[in-house]
Amino acid sequence: MNGTSIMKYLNNSRGTTLLELMVATALTGVLMAAGLSFYTNMHSQTLLQEDISDMQQNSRNVLDELARTTRNAGFKIGSHVPYVINGDSLYVFFNETQPVDTVLYYLVDYLQCGLPDDLTPKKLARRINSGAPVEFADYITDISFTVPSAKTIEISLEVRAVRTDPDYDLNQGIRTKTYTQRVSLKNLNL
């Protein structure tokens, strides 16, 4: 068939047959299903990557806040103790608005999160002087404060992602990351 005979055939046909419509519908359905599957897979991967990015960004912000406050330990308070570490809590004492300002960082449990006890995240709260506590970080697995030297505090923060990753085999699909920062205390009279 040449080009003119194809055009005559197409002009003479009165429509498509039911079989052609069914084949076209089936092909469209297969292509749509493949496209939807690809989209949902990419969307879930995007959400997981966003969770990981948020986890990293939030933990860096928490460490910056803790380091900034901890560096003030001992500022203009004379012989008062500059800081107290009590398990996963940190008291920092310095002079800013009162003779001795007190900043307390501690972990708070989630209420009814529905996760097993070993996977339950916590929130980090801060209380300044006698004010109300403020929860400013969440999805924290653990925090620890150690004193490697007389003028240094090491802060170790373990955070977790919000969602579980079905492709991640460790830790029941929950991605965790530990960040550590050493803070030099420059206001101590040692």
Q: pLDDT of 133-168, one tens digit each?
A: 998 888 898 999 999 998 999 999 999 888 888 888
Show me where the domains of the chain are located.
37-184
Judged by DSSP in three states, 35 sits in: helix
Tell me the pLDDT band of 76, cut-offs 50, 70 and 90. confident
Query: What CA–CA distance (Å, rounded) separates 64 from 81?
Result: 23
- Out of 27-31, 38-42, 165-169, pick the least confident: 165-169
Judged by DSSP in three states, 113 sits in: coil
> Would the pLDDT of 181 be above 70?
yes
* Structural contact between residues 62 and 157, judged by C-beta atoms closer than 8 angstroms: yes
- Out of 3-17, 56-70, 144-158, pick the least confident: 3-17
Strands (E), the chain: 83-86, 89-94, 101-109, 122-128, 134-149, 152-160, 176-184
Judged by DSSP in three states, 62 sits in: helix
- Model's pTM, two decimal places? 0.75
Spell out the residues 6+ positions from residue 110 whose beta carbon is closer than 8 angstroms to its own: 120, 121, 122, 123, 138
Q: Nearest to residue 179, comparing CAs of 152, 148, 151, 144? A: 144
Percent of the chain at pLDDT exceeding 90: 48
What one-letter code names the amino acid at 70?
Answer: T
Query: What CA–CA distance (Å, rounded) separates 40 from 132?
Result: 43
